[in-house]
Amino acid sequence: MSNFTFLNTDWPELFETACEAEQNVNSAPRTSCFYARRSLERAVKWLYTNDSYLKQPYADNLAALIHEPTFRENLEPCLFPKILTIQKIGNLAVHSDKPISNSDSGERNRKTPDDHDYSEAETRDYFIDLLLKESGWDLRAPDVLEYPVQGMPGSTCSPTNRLRSANGKKGVITAEDVGKSNEST
């Protein structure tokens, strides 16, 4: 039995893609991420078609739709981070050759507490590592080093982490970066 059976009567197309995401979480995580994002986009577009309160944004892509203020105002605070995670991991699954594991797919969303009082480890796992992967970092590569840096100018949060790879690629992660989004599709 699927977690999405309730969708089947009124939204069979959404039910179909949601079931594909659910069924592929362990066996084909990339496929699961693709179908999760597809399900999200279908649901969001249905909402825009059927809820006159929602204002159409400047573009009809998922990033524009989910960041439109009337859409975000209608959400419980705990939902937007999950929506953003599905969008980003779906984009990564489709537009990247980087490996996708089942911890990157549906498992991540099931483990996310609804109160969204994230621990440091959860923040790192749910947001920072995903954003780094999206930016082209392979955090498991042997040439990537990470070390804490204290007292970065302009940073109100600590510690700040600095990344460096043997090929010269550098990055800095601060707590302020978490929650900032790249609003591309």
Q: pLDDT tens digits, the chain, 185 residues: what are they? A: 788 888 888 889 999 999 999 899 888 889 999 999 999 999 999 999 999 999 999 999 999 999 999 999 888 777 888 898 899 889 988 998 888 876 665 555 555 555 556 566 666 766 677 667 666 777 777 776 666 656 555 544 444 455 555 555 555 554 444 444 333 33
pLDDT, residue 116, reads 55
- Enter the tokens of residue 28: 């084909």
pLDDT at residue 74, as a whole number: 85
Cα distance between residue 33 and residue 173, in whole Å: 25
pTM of the model: 0.59
pLDDT the model gives residue 40: 95
Report the distance separating Cα 41 and Cα 63, nearest Å: 9
Q: What is the pLDDT of residue 160?
A: 47
Return the structure tokens found at 50.
């059927």
